[in-house]
Structure 1
Amino acid sequence: MKLILAFFLVFGTIIKAQNSRDAETLFLESKDLLYKKPSESAIISEFLFKNSSDNNDKIKALLLLTESYLIRGDYNSASEKLFQCLELSKESNRTENEFQINFLLARLCDELGIEFSQLYLIKNEKEITQNYYEKAIKSYSDSNWNQTVKDLKLFEKQKNKSFPELSNFYYALSYSNLGKLDSAQYYAQKIQRYEPYYFYAKAKIQSSRKESDKNIDYIESLKLINKKVQDVWLREEIYNLAVKNYNKSKNKDKYREYYQLQTALQDSLSSVKENARISFLNKIGQKQDEILETKSEQQTKMSYFIAIAILLVFTVAYFFNRKLNQKQNDYEKSKQEAEDREKFIAENKAQESAGKIVIPDKTISFLLEKLEKFESNDEYLDSEISLNLLAENLNTNTKYLSEIINTYKNKNFHSYINELRINYIINKLKNNPVYLKYKVSHLAEEAGFSSHSLFSTVFKQVTGHSPASFIKTIKNQ
């Protein structure tokens, strides 16, 4: 009997180990496909998530899913999976998981134009390890090639590394932009199995050569991979490179073709990002409301505990005092009970109010007055304005400013700024006929918007009409 039980125990252990190995094999396959075929990587990751019983394995699968959705520009799905990661990570203490979650959160915020400080209840910026891979991507997008190379080298020294092949991709692009073509070629060879990125890096390097203006066959080679490219950022870069070089070679037909593709992609991404940003901000608000509610419940429980402890202390003191002062028993008893009640009420109220964000009335009045001045001076037209910058200009902090805008303006910071800008343009259109002749792109720039497509999206959200329709209506009046 014992031999039979031992056999089944060993057999069960072998089956479990086999399943674990199979799951790890699928995980590695999904990770390998992430930058080759993101959609296929997502299918495998979704399977691993649904069939895993271990939280850490679920988090690993969700992180790959999040990355896959970010690559393909599906920001709503990316934020959904990332919030699932945050929930599961509460029960996990894996440093590598936290590192990747923080990286993807910061990347999603950057893509959607959201200040990371707005997640202050979800993630504390001071507790987050500096991610040099994230900094390298940011430096590259800012055209700071030398800084990109420095950040990538610092990233290589970090213990928690992810997707090193794309590090080589950014090395290749940065060295190409710096004119160090031998170094660029060296790093490009390391990413040959990632075809879309490899072919783009080769085209980028070729376009940097002196004779590139005489021969642009390298642009034509990108046609082979264009339909395979699922990374929306890479597709936009390919269109940008083609537009730049066909314009340089004065090939009007090709220039027009790629310019239309580039514009269509940018408009589509702008609309998708704006909708995703609103959805993500709503999720942040709900999540932070849940956190505040949990903290409030904890504070209430603590208040009860302290109140009971205070009552116990005073009760013991009361009885001890009664034994020592029998002659003044009645007097001391009534006096002590009165003091107990007052102190209990005071302490209980103090504890109940602990943890809440309270802004002094003077501060509220001061900031509301400053906001009125901010609005009257049209300072919201500055395209660089942000929650942090405005808070600094008003000599306050982002928490106070965000709370006051939410409470007294009944909207979040971005909606507040956008509506001020749109109302500014509406006023100009109604009162200054010259503005009716301006292009939408000019109106967008004057209002402080980063693109005319974003301006059009917000304009329609505020007025219910597109800018062109609105202008036509005014002209017909």
Structure 2
Amino acid sequence: MTYLQWNKILFLLLTSFSLLAQSQKKNLSQFSYDELHDLYFANPNNQELQLQCARAYLTKANKENITIRKAKANYQFALLYYDKNPNKAIAYLDSVIKYSLNTNDKYFPASAYCEKADLLKRQFKFKEAMANYNLAEKVALKTNTDFYYNVLNFIGTTKSEDLGEYNEALALYKKCYNFYKTKDVRSSQYSYYYQDIIFGIADCYKSLKNTDSTAYYNKLGYNESKSTKNTKYQYLFILNEGANQLLKKNYKAAKDSINKALPEIITSNDTGNILASYYYLGKTYDGLGDKETASKNFIKVDSIYKKNKEISTEFIEGYPYLINFYKNKGDKENQLKYITVYMEIDSILEKNYKEFNAIVREEYDTPHLFLEKEELIRSLKNDKQKSYWGISTLLLVSISIGCFGIYQQKQKNKYRFRFEKLINQKEISNKISINNTQNEVEIENVSKTEIGIADELVKQILEKLDRFEYKKEYLQANISIQTLSATFKTNSKYISKIINTYKDKTFIQYINDLRIEHGIEVLKKNPKLRKYTIHALASEFGFNNAESFSTVFFKKTGIKPSYFIKELEKLENK
């Protein structure tokens, strides 16, 4: 993903100002609201003066008791604390929302909701951030159509760049794109936002590996930005097309595009896209077989990460490359260095994103990283000690590796046995039949008094459950016992009791088992489905996220879905 920071687009919307000619010696209490506003935004590098302006603005608003003016004063305070004290900024934004609700102002409280959402995203509170964006969307739809589409853009950016929900983001971007197509997209009012949307669409298509559509929108965006002399976007579209050519394995074209864009991106001090450029260059040089230059570019990615402590899951793939690169060179110090950084990133992603650290798990699982790190530390210490200490340590390492190897082999055998058991079991769907007569026998074996439900009603609900299983309605997301009882037109307690008695499971176990059993069968039969991400498979099988899908799959089968898919691929290749 190519980074695109919106850099306070709301700030741009609210700051149509001119520099004041009045003497700064003039008492701020005598300034009008517009004069205080203009003076505040004309001095972004003078926070003391901005603070004085905000105080004067609020004093005037309180004295005249004008709520929308109170809101705008609090907004100025919020911007002052935006970077240095986010929680204080959020508190001020809450005041903006309180004072501007139901005022029908063109920008408030919608912009305050958006700014608050951005601050919550920085704290990795994505659920709360999305709730604030949705509130902004509802308000802007009533008060400011143009700003409504800006809000949709912010939501699309969050879904794409933070949550990895590219299809959902794409739908929002397309909605904005169709709106802007009705406007003069080369005017100063709309050109920036139109090009921003085109970039979002191109970037989503790239993340979805739809290279033809990516190329189309990159070209469209480049032509639009060139026509309006928007240099920043010209080079972002060039960079994005370089990444697109990398996906196509057109390494020379990728290198040319990235090298063309990089100097301008460095000049504009766009840190996120500088990191992205070096990462793409690393991948490109690796594709060209130049491992030395590839590693130099991945080292630049690392240096930017160390300075800013920000990196996304897409750009961490350079670390396994550097670890192996230095391992092959016998450079233990650098090998240890990049293992340490890689594990640090893994820990951050685990804490902040939880389900978004699949790349780390695939490339190097955590136990492997710990083991290799400890071995390197011991090895480097041994080089500085006497030989007999070295020999003793090597023996310990060998024993540790041996024990770990035995443990790993046992685990491997255990997983293999579980995998073969899944492969050899009969197809589960064959057991399901609408005309299942077994239920009649089971009803006879459970007395009416035991569960307190009439036999006829039990039979009806069991038949409905058979149809429910046969039609695979359990794949619907967010299904609950309440929604199922509404569909069956019966009491949820009856369904719960019958599933507990006749299926010998809780409702949740029943639904999850059906989903996993279905998933196992379709993954066996459908090689294309095995190419899906775990997140996509989770959605396909009715789960809300990759984490819950993996947990339920492991609980049911004793192996992770990623292992099951990998072994299926091996089996098919054989």
RCO comparison, higher one (Cα < 8 Å, 6+): 1
Structure-2-length-normalised TM-score: 0.41
